[in-house]
Amino acid sequence: MKLKKTAIILSILFIWFTSAGFTYFNGKKIIWDKEIIGISVYSEFLLPPPIAVPLWAKNSVKIQKDSFNKDAPTIAIIIDDMGVNKFWSRQAENLPAPVTLSYLPYAEDVEKYAKYAKKLGHELMLHMPMEPDASNIDAGPFALKTTNSKQDFIENIKYNLAKFDGYIGINNHMGSKMSKDENKLSLLMQELEKRGLLYLDSRTTPISLGEVVARRYNIPTSHRDIFLDHVESKEFVKNSLRKLEKRAIKNGTAIAIGHPKKITIEALQKWLLEAKNKGFNIVPVSEVIKLRIYEEKYQKQLLVSAQNQPLQ
């Protein structure tokens, strides 16, 4: 009789262990829900919760690894002010991907244009209107201003961010005054942090605090290196692209900002193919930001390691 009972118990345990009961992961026992012979077995998950993927990473355009040379200089092109000039915005959208396109939230039919660009393989950003130093220049409706009350400021952020989706983060439209206001930038970064978005500083002032404040909130961030077309001439754009190549060769990466203008788009239509033939990686801006963050952390680790080495 005892042998029978023992056999039955062993049979039940065998079924439990093999069909449902225990799994081991990194030495930890996991039990999951399963009803065995009328007995409910309740879960006791010992695994850590899954890591949430931030929105910027979900919305980023993934590069083709087989076409990326890790030893080659890497360039990202951003075209901002997108959506207002419809014709040249469409020409920018039809550039060979991947180019990063940053749309003004107040542009008419901005959601439709952004969706079109996304389908073509471009990465999206939102070009956030911010207050410039010059009081006679209008950054656009619902711009972020140093004079906004806290409530108005946050409402303007939310209003602009809701105009379309699929973007990785924001870069500033104008904003030379706003970019120096540490308190207002903190409010902005708090909203970006909540949403898992990144911040790209357009560097419309050399004393911008954008990156500094973004880092306080652990927001992925970097900055523009070259403006392509703030002087509207073919020769200037051509020289800017040469400077961009030199910067990428010197530093490993470079980020340029241009605009949906005839001289810029026509120059890029030719240059994008030439740059690839020269061996440059042309990538979405999120890829350059990731490379820069990795490099920064790696250099810090090397510095700490060197400091900890005993003197010979």
Three-class SS state of 90: helix
* Per-residue model confidence as pLDDT tens digits over 129-173: 999 999 999 999 999 999 999 999 999 999 999 999 999 999 999
Rounded alpha-carbon distances, angstroms, from residue 195 to 34, 145, 169, 187, 218: 36, 21, 9, 13, 12
Q: Which domains does the chain have, with CATH numbers?
A: 2-41 (no CATH), 55-298 (3.20.20.370)
| pLDDT given for residue 248 in this prediction | 98
Q: Output the CA angle 16-20-23, nearest 5 degrees.
A: 100
* Per-residue model confidence as pLDDT tens digits over 59-76: 999 998 888 999 999 999
- Hey, what are 89's tokens? 């915005």
* Per-residue model confidence as pLDDT tens digits over 160-217: 999 999 999 999 999 999 999 999 999 999 999 999 999 999 999 999 999 999 999 9
Task: Answer whether residue 312 shows pLDDT above 80.
Answer: no
| Separation between Cα atoms, residue 79 and residue 99, nearest integer Å | 8
pLDDT band at 308 (very low <50, low <70, confident <90, very high): low
Rounded alpha-carbon distances, angstroms, from residue 68 to 74, 234, 276, 280: 9, 30, 10, 9
CB-based contact 130:165 (threshold 8 Å): no
| Separation between Cα atoms, residue 272 and residue 241, nearest integer Å | 10
User: For 113-134, what is the mean pLDDT?
Assistant: 98
- Hey, what are 91's tokens? 């020409």
- Hey, what are 253's tokens? 């990466």
pLDDT band at 297 (very low <50, low <70, confident <90, very high): confident
| Separation between Cα atoms, residue 66 and residue 54, nearest integer Å | 25
